[in-house]
Structure 1
């Protein structure tokens, strides 16, 4: 009996140890001396996973995810469902398929609502856009309703006039460059050329000579293939804007079949969470990959929380502005079906039914769900001159107090620790942005078994959501407000001056660009989560 008793005690001790009850004694990362940014370009490996790296060790301002996993070795975790409210997710991507949420109460493809949640065959999530792909921007939808004499209409019409003019001008510039590029290739009799080839070219064509200096410089920075890819993407973007986003004659909602101005009209959409066109799910698939693509398989990037999450795909973001109704119902869907973290990499500057979204955020707060959102890519101060910019979704009615304590707003940083730390596109704001995380050239999954570098606060937000999911997986008793506070409190404070909007003539201390003046650090967050979970 003694042997048995000793054996059981040893087994119990081993079980307790494997449950991760041991206190974490590591000290958090702090900056105790000036850090010199890497001057040389990142290696290919570093660039593909720089979010995982460490500011002090690598002089790259990643989130120290690798070091966080060292702390978590041998500790027990609980699967966390992360709702990705986005353009759709390629749930068949091999690097995501193992972590896609499967509704345990739904029988696939039987045409029934088995779990009685109002959605038929919602096995991996729900598509609130149905077969719709393109959509107007919100100010166009407002303007289309007609001039009612309101200040909202006047603001919408002014924005439409400005954006339409700018889109046409930008498309004209791009066509100008593409035309010059084609002429250069014809004169050189080459399908591809270098900066040196261009500099050696003696041409009588005024268009070539006008653009030769700019193109020569660009080709010293990127290869020809990258230049042409960017030109095509830019052309597609502005053509899309003029054909769909800014076109008052285009009706993208008709195909959905609902009334977007009736929050009680809920029976719409379908269970195809990829969407009608796989490439249309590029944004959402990339976001999902940042959170959950497989770690350590030497394919693509490394998801922040791939070992401990399930991705619930909720399609609600078209090519254009999302509807408030879809966002509100998407949040509620994710909450009701078990998500503990929701990522929202979208936003707009006009809203006609913001109260529906505020109510959904408060509903998520009541159910202990953390919402993580992107701050936006306009390179603007959301609190300029003490005024709060209207940007949606948010957790406070313009200039008012926060409506809930479960909402994190994330700005983007680059891998250049120094004046270029703030991503040149990232919005910032002493009150409206909570904290920053990596958002420049992030490598992750895209549809049809592909991977790409994309950038934006859309990429910074899932990096933050991944850290939140990591905390909730290993410390499931911590509440959403506690996880939010841990992420903000454990970030690394940065006091250096940085360029605003990429302009070296316009600088500000990084500490003044958000509520915290910090960048997210997963290693520090786990250390603090361990302390908070122990009541310290």
Structure 2
């Protein structure tokens, strides 16, 4: 079975048919150019509610329907509670990221144990000069993005807010760890191997949340073990449901379909609050839905554009999870996941399609977290 990646650049549609060995891939439907676990706060952050004119500070924000006042995410209200915290490290496992992009560069993770460009492995983690992550395709410390998918995903999660240009990410104060696993020239086996390496790097180097906007139909014991290691460190993995128009309860899509409770699997929504036609679904295996159609975000070389798919929806949920951890960093990952899923917005079109029958709502989640909380199970490594 062949896999298709459909991309439109500069209003020219390019159809790329990936060979059958490309079993690990991402599928944006449409693009238009226009060391230890990092320490977290030990108590809720005091944040004075204040509404900022986002359209002055981020002049292209209006192009993303998911970020406006009428969005089902209610992000404008959520930002009155929290806009994130740079202590939160989100690993973006993808095609790389344009780490020089003006709307991203101030939110790129900086490895605290590494001295840049000295040719040494200062922190002893096995990687030389890995200041912002790693390129597992080229095996070097420069995870640049030649495709655009990873940069688009990163912008949704954590584009800088209030800098007078572009857009804002869902969690505009965050540290983005860049892990490049994907190459269109690699075999499916190579992409999967690089995925597993990326997961293990994130686990071993301080990530609190892992965003994986890709996947495939093959079960991998080693990949599952890597995500289990993430669970043991209190790390949430937010994974795309996939874009095959299939019931994932019947046709599994990994890693979203692994039976691990630190995974949040995400389907894609249209502005009309319906599943995107291509989105996978499944009442047992898919947890929640988020905006995923015609999403405006960052692209390489300082550009911006639109993409559609569960990749984009996944990034929105990752951003909301980062806001939640920023607000109350001592909660274990399973508690954050439970709060996120229990505070979804019920949506008629999603009933019987996904586990929660609803879409993510950032404001509802943050309101729940800033309310007085009873202890929830053992405190995870987030608090250490």
- Does the alignment reach a TM-score above 0.5? yes
Matches of 1:415 and 1:46, distance apart in 2: 16
Match of 2:64 in 1: 49
1:72 matched to 2:82: yes
1:78 Cα deviation after fit: 6.0
Aligned-pair distance for 1:21? 9.0
Number of equivalences: 322
Find out whether 1:411 has 2:255 as its counterpart: no
Equivalent runs, 1:99-114 vs 2, <5 Å: 99-114=107-122
Deviations 1:355-396 (A, max 9, x none): 11010011000000000011111122212xxxx313221353
Which of residues 288, 299, 323 in structure 2 aligns to 1:470?
A: 323
Unaligned runs of 5+ in 2: 1-42, 50-58, 377-384
Question: Does residue 481 of the first structure (1) align with residue 347 of the second (2)?
Answer: no
Q: Would you say 1:449 and 2:302 are equivalent positions?
A: yes
Q: Aligned to 2:146, which of 263, 268, 279?
A: 279
Which residue pairs with 1:331 in the alignment?
Answer: 199
Q: How does 1:57-136 map to 2 (within 5 A)?
A: 58=70, 60=71, 62-72=72-82, 77=85, 79-130=87-138
Q: Which residue is 2:46 aligned to?
A: 20
Q: How many angstroms does 1:350 deviate by?
A: 2.8
Deviation at 1:18, TM superposition (A): 9.9
CA distance in 2, matches of 1:512, 1:521: 19
Deviations 1:385-422 (A, max 9, x none): xxx313221353xxxxx2x32100000001124xxx21
TM-score by length of 1: 0.57
SS in 2 for 1:103: coil
Q: Write out per-residue CA displacement over residues 205-249 of structure 1, whole angstroms, 9 at most, x where no aligned residue.
A: xxxxxxxxxxxxxxxxxxxxxxxxxxxxxxxxxxxxxxxxxxxxx
TM-score, with length taken from structure 2: 0.78
Query: Is it true that 1:311 corresponds to 2:319 in the alignment?
Result: no
- Unpaired runs of at least 5, structure 1: 1-16, 25-43, 131-268, 397-401, 498-509
State how far apart, in whole Å, the 1-side matches of 2:82 and 2:180 are: 33
Between structures 1 and 2, the one with greater helix share: 1
Where does 1:382-401 land on structure 2 (aligned, <5 Å)? 382-383=248-249, 388-396=250-258
Separation in 2, partners of 1:72, 1:124:
25
- Verify: 1:515 aligned to 2:381, yes or no: no
Which whole-Å deviations, capped at 9, do the CAs of 1:173-231 have from their partners, x for residues lacking one?
Answer: xxxxxxxxxxxxxxxxxxxxxxxxxxxxxxxxxxxxxxxxxxxxxxxxxxxxxxxxxxx
Tell me the C-alpha RMSD between the 2 structures: 2.4
Give the 3 Å change call, closer, same or farther, for CA 532–514 of structure 1 in structure 2. farther
Q: State how far apart, in whole Å, the 2-side matches of 1:530 and 1:465 are.
A: 19
Q: Distance in 1 between matches of 2:330 and 2:61?
A: 34
- Cα 1:298–1:517 shift into 2, 3 Å: farther
1:71 is displaced (CA, Å) by 2.9
* Contact 1:300–1:443 (Cα < 8 Å) also in 2: no
Q: Specify the SS of the correspondent of 2:80.
A: helix
User: 2:61, 2:364 → 1: CA distance?
Assistant: 21
Q: Distance in 1 between matches of 2:155 and 2:195?
A: 21
Whose strand proportion is higher, 1 or 2?
2
Q: Report the Cα offset of residue 428 of structure 1.
A: 0.7
State whether structure 2 residue 292 is matched by structure 1 residue 439.
yes
